[in-house]
Amino acid sequence: MEFTANQIAVFLKGNVDGNGEVKVNNVAKIEDATSGTLAFLANPKYESYLYSTNASIVLVNDSFKPEKKVIATLIYVPDAYQAFASLLELVAQTMYEPKLGIEEPSYIHPTATYGKDVFVGAFAYIGKNVKMGENVKIYPQAYVGNNCTIGDNCILYSGARIYHDCQLGSNITIHSGAIIGADGFGFAPTDTANYKKIPQIGNVIIEDFAEIGANSTIDRATMGSTIIHKGVKLDNMVHIAHNVEIGENTVMAAQGGIAGSVKIGSDCMFGGQIGIAPHVTLAKGTKLGAKSGVNSNIIKENSTLIGAPVQEYGEWAKSQVHYQNLPKIVARLNALEKELAELKKK
């Protein structure tokens, strides 16, 4: 399908600067774009590509002011990144045929219920007393255990596993290989130097508009619930331990590990490979750089931290400068010690 700049601007509620009748039929990165494609510019470090791109249309922020002549037609929008995401969503809807119906062989327990426009792929398993809403998509080889609830417009991709008694809200996406509701890591030492498993009798609750990445794991609570609040986004290979609570709209990059009973505030942002120790509380808006390690409470809201253990970003940056100069500092210290020793001999 082809769209003109004017049509796209109407859809995005933006303003056209240039040829409003120029047409595009695909999207591309600004540095790789060809004629007939649409790109976007949100990060200032890519601005140089704007003046050489072959894209026919480029989305830019309302606040952007080009420093040179731009050949492409520009569409000014409040947030170019979000606008581009909206267009990608529209493109995706036209690319993929909607899945409907029950494929065979699959298993749905007679007590399970589901709404209209449901898809259950081949070799999927739906357990006893499962309740699914409308437009739920369960892809092949996914598993939904007994007594689970799944709200409207949820997607479980191939190989996703939802253990018994877990509750999913609406508009949730669970990617392939993700496991929701496995046992929390609970073992009590005994007199014989062995460990006795502590039964994990809680569940996992995931609220609306959350997305769980491929091969991520969210453990059930020992008692009560592990809670992923509304709008949380977890990248691939993230581990959430038992009784953790993650606040609304928090986002977490790949390979993060959150230990048991951690409480994370809303609107937090975590880089990749972060680690948080058990029973720690993080304030609203906390930002953690990649590979950060947190072992105590973060009380101040909207803190930006990095390092292991974490410290304020500015202090961490200063310490990194000293660390890089450490060989020179050691050499100077050795020279001073040698000079001092010679003075003592005299």
Phi, psi of 62 (to 5 degrees): -55, -30
| Residues 110 and 223 reside in one and the same domain | yes
The catalytic position among 164, 175, 242, 279 is: 242
Residue 233's CATH number: 2.160.10.10
| Residues 323 and 277 reside in one and the same domain | no
Nearest Cα residue to 76 out of 11, 28, 12, 2: 12
| Residues 250 and 111 reside in one and the same domain | yes
What's the confidence (pLDDT) of residue 24? 93
CA gap 260, 255 in Å, rounded: 16
β pairing state of 37-41 and 57-61: parallel
Question: What residues pair up with 57 in beta bridges, in sequence order?
Answer: 38, 73
| Residues 40 and 114 reside in one and the same domain | no
Residue 17's CATH number: 3.40.1390.10
What's the confidence (pLDDT) of residue 328? 87
Give residue for tokens 């691939």.
Answer: 236
Q: Are 80 and 59 in contact (CB under 8 A)?
A: yes
Domain that holds residue 59: 3-95
CA gap 75, 83 in Å, rounded: 10
Number of neighbours of residue 115 by Cβ within 10 angstroms: 14
What's the confidence (pLDDT) of residue 165? 97
Instruction: Share the mean pLDDT of the chain.
Output: 93
Banded model confidence at residue 98, pLDDT cuts 50, 70, 90? confident
pLDDT in tens, 150-164: 999 999 999 999 999
| Residues 64 and 181 reside in one and the same domain | no
| Residues 28 and 116 reside in one and the same domain | no
| Residues 256 and 294 reside in one and the same domain | yes
| Residues 112 and 77 reside in one and the same domain | no
Banded model confidence at residue 316, pLDDT cuts 50, 70, 90? confident
What's the number of domains the chain is made of?
3
Q: Is 242 in the active site?
A: yes
| Residues 326 and 294 reside in one and the same domain | no
| Residues 336 and 298 reside in one and the same domain | no
| Residues 306 and 331 reside in one and the same domain | no
Q: What is the pTM of this model?
A: 0.83
| Residues 168 and 261 reside in one and the same domain | yes
* Higher per-residue confidence, 314 vs 130: 130
